[in-house]
Copies of this chain bind each other. A is one copy, B any other.
Amino acid sequence: MTTVASFTITHSRFLDPAGALTQALPEFARGPSALKRLYRAMALTRVFDARALALQRTGRLGTYASSLGQEAVAVGLADAMRAEDVLVPSFREHGAQLLRGVTATELFLYWGGDERGSNFASAREDFPVAIPVGSQAPHAAGVALAFMLRGDQRVAVCAFGDGATSKGDVYEAMNLAGVWRLPVVFVINNNQWSISVPRSAQTAAATLAQKAVAAGFAGEQVDGNDVIAVRHAVGSAIERARGGEGPALIEAITYRLADHTTADDARRYRDDAEVSRHWKDDPIARLRLYLTREAGWTKDDEEHLLSECGQVIVNAAETYLAMAPQPPSALFDHLHASLPDALAAQRDILLRESDRHG
Asked whether any CB of chain B lies closer than 8 Å to the CB of A4, the reply is yes
Asked whether any CB of chain B lies closer than 8 Å to the CB of A70, the reply is no
Contact B5 A206 (CB under 8 A): yes
Bound: A10/B6 CA distance, A: 9
Q: Which of A170-178, A281-289, A290-298, A340-348 contacts B (4 or more CB under 8 A)?
A: A170-178
Q: Which residues of B contact A181 (CB under 8 A)?
A: 204
Asked whether any CB of chain B lies closer than 8 Å to the CB of A211, the reply is yes
Asked whether any CB of chain B lies closer than 8 Å to the CB of A205, the reply is yes
Contact B12 A1 (CB under 8 A): yes
Contact A3 B7 (CB under 8 A): no
**Which B residue's beta carbon lies closest to that of A210?**
B213
Q: Which of A79-87, A125-133, A215-223 contacts B (4 or more CB under 8 A)?
A: A215-223
Interface string of A142-170 (1 = CB under 8 A from B): 00000000000000000000000011110
Contact A7 B10 (CB under 8 A): no
Bound: A14/B23 CA distance, A: 49
Contact B7 A7 (CB under 8 A): yes
* 14 extra interface residue pairs, beta carbon distance < 8 Å, beyond A1-B23, A5-B8, A178-B204: A1-B11, A1-B12, A2-B11, A3-B8, A4-B206, A4-B221, A6-B8, A166-B172, A167-B172, A171-B171, A171-B172, A175-B204, A213-B214, A214-B214
Within 8 A of B (CB), among A24-74: none
Asked whether any CB of chain B lies closer than 8 Å to the CB of A121, the reply is no
Which secondary structure dominates where chain A touches chain B? mixed
Contact A6 B3 (CB under 8 A): no
Contact B168 A172 (CB under 8 A): yes
8 smallest A-B Cβ distances: which pairs? A168-B168, A204-B216, A214-B214, A178-B204, A205-B216, A171-B171, A213-B213, A5-B9
Q: Which residues of B contact A3 (CB under 8 A)?
A: 8-11
Bound: A181/B206 CA distance, A: 14
**Contact partner, A213, options B7, B176, B201, Cβ 8 Å:** B7
**Contact partner, A5, options B168, B210, B214, Cβ 8 Å:** B210
CB distance from A67 to the nearest CB of B (A): 25
**Contact partner, A214, options B4, B167, B205, Cβ 8 Å:** B205
Within 8 A of B (CB), among A276-334: none
Q: How many copies does the complex hold?
A: 2
Q: Which residues of B contact A1 (CB under 8 A)?
A: 10-12, 23
**Contact partner, A178, options B4, B203, B207, B212, Cβ 8 Å:** B203
**Which B residue's beta carbon lies closest to that of A171?**
B171
Bound: A178/B166 CA distance, A: 11
Asked whether any CB of chain B lies closer than 8 Å to the CB of A202, the reply is yes
Q: Which residues of B contact A172 (CB under 8 A)?
A: 166-168, 171
CB distance from A8 to the nearest CB of B (A): 4
Known: A2-B11, A11-B4. A204 touches B215 (CB 8 A): yes
Known: A7-B210, A9-B4, A210-B5. A203 touches B221 (CB 8 A): no
Asked whether any CB of chain B lies closer than 8 Å to the CB of A179, the reply is yes
Q: Which residues of B contact A213 (CB under 8 A)?
A: 7, 205, 210, 213-214
Q: Which residues of B contact A168 (CB under 8 A)?
A: 167-169, 171-172
Contact B202 A179 (CB under 8 A): yes
Within 8 A of B (CB), among A187-242: 201-207, 209-217, 221
**Which B residue's beta carbon lies closest to that of A12?**
B1
CB distance from A161 to the nearest CB of B (A): 15
Q: List 8 A-B contacts (CB under 8 A).
A: A5-B9, A167-B172, A171-B172, A175-B204, A179-B204, A181-B204, A205-B214, A213-B214
